[in-house]
């Protein structure tokens, strides 16, 4: 986890295809392209996603 207050995160439900939780800094339209249904963990650039 991070204590960075600028961190944007979201929790996505792959059954309903919707975000059910977003941080205050997060925008769903920016996070949606990062949703991957077949890979639980991946790296893009220098960032690690799970």
pLDDT digits (tens, 9 = 90+) for 4-44: 888 888 898 878 889 999 998 899 998 888 786 677 777 77
If one compares 10 and 50, the residue with the highest pLDDT of the two is: 10
Instruction: Count Cα neighbours of 19 within 13 Å in the Cβ-side half-sphere.
Output: 16
Q: What pTM does this model have?
A: 0.61
Residue 35, domain member (yes or no): yes
Q: For residues 26 and 6, is the Cβ–Cβ distance under 8 A?
A: no
Q: For residues 50 and 38, is the Cβ–Cβ distance under 8 A?
A: no
Please give the pLDDT value at position 1: 63
Identify the bridge partners of residue 13 per DSSP, sorted by sequence position: 18
Please give the pLDDT value at position 13: 86
Instruction: Tell me the residue range of the domain where 16 lies.
Output: 10-49
The count of domains in the chain is: 1
Residue 32, domain member (yes or no): yes
Residue 38, domain member (yes or no): yes
Residue 21, domain member (yes or no): yes
Residue 2, domain member (yes or no): no
Residue 4, domain member (yes or no): no
Contacts of 18 (CB under 8 A, 6+ apart): 12
């Amino acid at each position: 986890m991070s204590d960075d207050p600028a961190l944007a995160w979201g929790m996505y439900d792959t059954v309903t295809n919707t975000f059910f939780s977003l941080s205050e800094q997060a925008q769903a339209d920016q996070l949606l392209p990062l949703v991957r249904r077949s890979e639980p963990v991946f790296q893009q650039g220098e960032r690690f996603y799970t």
